[in-house]
Amino acid sequence: MRCGLYIVDVDEPLPDRCRVHAWRPSIDGVSEVFHARIVDYGYPPHSHDTWTLLIVDNGAISYDLDKRHCAAFGQTVAILPPGVTHDGKPAPGAGGFTKRVLYLEATFLPEALIGAAVDQTNIDDPVLRRELVSFHHHLVDADDPIGAETSLTLIADRVIRHLGTDPNGVPEPETGIAHQLRALLDAGTTSPITLTDAASLLDRSKPHLIRSFTESFGIAPHAYIIAKRVEVARKLLLEGMPTSEAAVTAGFYDQSHLTRHFKRHTSLAPAQYAASGRRPSPG
């Protein structure tokens, strides 16, 4: 049977205690997302035609990569390059593992980094892990595409910095470009331009856009547009618009998406905020 990107021998079915959830999101560069809880099972030797970025939430994984003994656990990020044979099983004494995996297109990272990824399959980088966790949250919660784009861009930038240098160098942030990007975001607060389109229009890379914007305004493009949308929702709620309608009108995916960000920005749920919108009585 086919399990995610794995080809599993039909004579060796996954035990009942194993759980797998795999899907293909509509985000450029991502081939598949794979969440799994694996107990008492070992993957046979195989390879992918994609880059594999793996984080372990519980337990530990033991695997051989290109005949090297490796392990993934704790806060590390495991990076497995395309075309390199590996297996995978619970590490001795771990009892199993829970993992979240991104399979990224082979062209997502430079081919020249494959050798470095074999030599340095595990990366201890809290920032990289945090961005991976954020990206998975964007995918599961059906968050704003620009949020997923931002996380994925920062992930690629971080990996390249660990495994090698960007062949194009890392240009200094540009204030002018930051203001141009802000103008593009302001022009479509409720349905903003994607980073991919902005990069094409401004003739800059997505990492450079994010660095320039964050350096100039002290906030990432995604966080900026979320804050702008919350401001739109606040006005709509005080005008009496129902929360579900205000959420979509302001550009949020749905009411729960609005509620999560609204509470973070105002300390109140949207309904509570709307109910507060009455002039206090004198005295």
Based on the fold, state whether residues 36 and 75 are members of the same structural domain. Answer: yes
Question: Does any domain span residue 134?
Answer: no
Question: Does any domain span residue 95?
Answer: yes
Which of 124, 147, 181 terminates a domain? The answer is: 124
Contact partners, residue 215, CB within 8 Å, separation at least 6: 173, 178
For 158, phi then psi, to 5°, come to: -65, -45
User: Which is nearest to 33 in space by CA: 5, 14, 13?
Assistant: 5
Q: Which domain holds residue 207?
A: 171-218
The tens digit of pLDDT for each residue in 12-44 reads 555 567 888 899 888 888 999 999 999 988 999
Question: Does any domain span residue 153?
Answer: no
Question: Does any domain span residue 214?
Answer: yes
Question: Does any domain span residue 199?
Answer: yes
Based on the fold, state whether residues 67 and 176 are members of the same structural domain. Answer: no
How far are the Cα atoms of 24, 41, 130, 201, 230 from residue 33, in angstroms, in the given order?
6, 20, 17, 29, 29
- The secondary structure element, H or E, covering residue 23 is strand 19-23
CATH label of the domain that carries residue 35: 2.60.120.10
Which of 124, 154, 189 terminates a domain? The answer is: 124
Contact partners, residue 159, CB within 8 Å, separation at least 6: 53, 79, 109, 113, 123, 128
Based on the fold, state whether residues 59 and 85 are members of the same structural domain. Answer: yes
pTM of the model: 0.73
Q: What is the mean pLDDT of the chain?
A: 86
**CA 209 to the chain's CA centroid:** 17
Based on the fold, state whether residues 95 and 48 are members of the same structural domain. Answer: yes
Based on the fold, state whether residues 29 and 116 are members of the same structural domain. Answer: yes
Based on the fold, state whether residues 190 and 263 are members of the same structural domain. Answer: no
Q: Is 201 helix (H, G, I), strand (E, B) or coil?
A: helix
Based on the fold, state whether residues 55 and 115 are members of the same structural domain. Answer: yes
> What pLDDT is recorded for position 165?
63
User: Which is nearest to 248 in space by CA: 109, 144, 139?
Assistant: 144
Structure tokens at 282: 């004198």
> What pLDDT is recorded for position 144?
63
> What pLDDT is recorded for position 233?
95
User: How many structural domains are present in the chain?
Assistant: 3
> What pLDDT is recorded for position 277?
64
How many CB atoms are located within 10 Å of the residue 277 CB?
A: 11
CATH label of the domain that carries residue 248: 1.10.10.60
How many CB atoms are located within 10 Å of the residue 194 CB?
A: 15
Contact partners, residue 223, CB within 8 Å, separation at least 6: none
In the numeric block, the tokens 């739109």 are attached to 232
Which stretches of the chain score pLDDT less than 50? 1-11
How far are the Cα atoms of 141, 191, 227, 236 from residue 232, in angstroms, in the given order?
21, 12, 9, 6
Question: Does any domain span residue 155?
Answer: no
Question: Does any domain span residue 133?
Answer: no
Based on the fold, state whether residues 207 and 239 are members of the same structural domain. Answer: no
Based on the fold, state whether residues 211 and 235 are members of the same structural domain. Answer: no
Based on the fold, state whether residues 258 and 198 are members of the same structural domain. Answer: no
Based on the fold, state whether residues 14 and 119 are members of the same structural domain. Answer: yes
Based on the fold, state whether residues 120 and 185 are members of the same structural domain. Answer: no
Question: Does any domain span residue 97?
Answer: yes
> What pLDDT is recorded for position 216?
93
**CA 187 to the chain's CA centroid:** 25
